Homo-oligomer: A and B are copies of this chain.
Amino acid sequence: MRELIEEIFVTALRNPFLDTSVDAVQLPHPEGQDLVVTTDGFTVSPLEFNGGNIGSLAIHGTVNDLAVSGAVPKYLTLSVFLEEGLEIKLLQRVIGACAEAARACGVVVVAGDTKVLGRGECDGIYLSVTGIGFRRRDIALGISQVQSGDRLIVSGTVGSHGAAVLLAREEFGFASDLASDAQSVFAQAQALLAVSGVRFMRDPTRGGLATVANEIARASGMTVHLSETLVPISDSVRSVCELLGFDPLYLACEGRLVAVVAESSSEAALAALRRVAPLAAVIGKVSAGQSRVILATRFGGQRLLDELEDDPLPRIC
């Protein structure tokens, strides 16, 4: 069993750094750049959904946290918790998806560890991924950089990941072509970084766009205004949300970023971003006022987008 697992991992993830015989791996790193690190655990249920599985999700999620920080993602470590009796084919699909996503993102899994747990001690597979990247020293992004007048940009339709996982959970009796948006946002982040005036970027995962907007409002002490008609939402996500009673603004994305950009740079930023993300849109702005998020609804009204009190969708990522 242990040998089989090791073979699956090593075969799929093979690269010049991965060496299961060492306690720690030595990695080249560029001089004169900042070391940037992130870590995340993944427990999505079900393990597979339209557009990906826990493996591809874990790679994209980690790469994206580095990308929105302005770093170039480079190395990942992968720690795996497996439930005894897990179907080997499923494990192969998950680790295969890790490998494929890592290749697509231009990163390598340089170290790993697997723990096998008894039946009932783990729900299939959990993954922990740590990402290491490097960032040019002249890049200064941060939520504290946000200023009154800044524009909010989103890089594409929102909510597809959350909706795809929801649909995978149950048989709702209707067909949908809805797939998770899980992908790298590195090209999107780099496109924006080529334009001056980008203050802050974040990928709207758990809690979705509304949660990132609230984080910006809270950190800046200002009001974030969003316009419902400007937020790109696919028809299929809209239908699913209407049927199941979810608000797409709170659903997780795994291949989108939200950027806060100086007003004077917003046109240039949008144009640059659209070259790699055609559905990118300016969706709102920041203005002096109370710390809150106001949505101008498509019916001409306004409503507050509150912070999530607790997690309505556990195990979405």
Give the docked Cα–Cα distance between A9 and B22 (Å): 31
Q: Is the CB of B203 within 8 A of A23?
A: yes
Tell yes or no: A16 within 8 A of B by CB.
Answer: no
User: Shortest Cβ distance from A291 into chain B, in angstroms?
Assistant: 14
Say yes or no: A34-B43 contact (C-beta < 8 A), given A120-B120, A128-B128, A219-B21. Answer: no
Give the docked Cα–Cα distance between A60 and B143 (Å): 34
Q: Is the CB of B126 within 8 A of A43?
A: no
How many copies are assembled? 2
User: Shortest Cβ distance from A60 into chain B, in angstroms?
Assistant: 13
Q: Is the CB of A38 within 8 A of B26?
A: no
Q: Which of A77-85, A164-172, A239-247, A271-279 makes up part of the contact surface?
A: A77-85
Chain A residues within 8 Å of B, Cβ to Cβ? 1-2, 21-29, 31-32, 34-43, 65-66, 68-69, 71, 75, 77-81, 110-118, 120-123, 126, 128, 130-133, 135, 142-143, 202-203, 215, 219, 310-311, 314-315
- Given A25-B37, A79-B128, 5 additional A-B pairs, CB 8 A: A23-B66, A37-B110, A39-B128, A43-B81, A43-B121
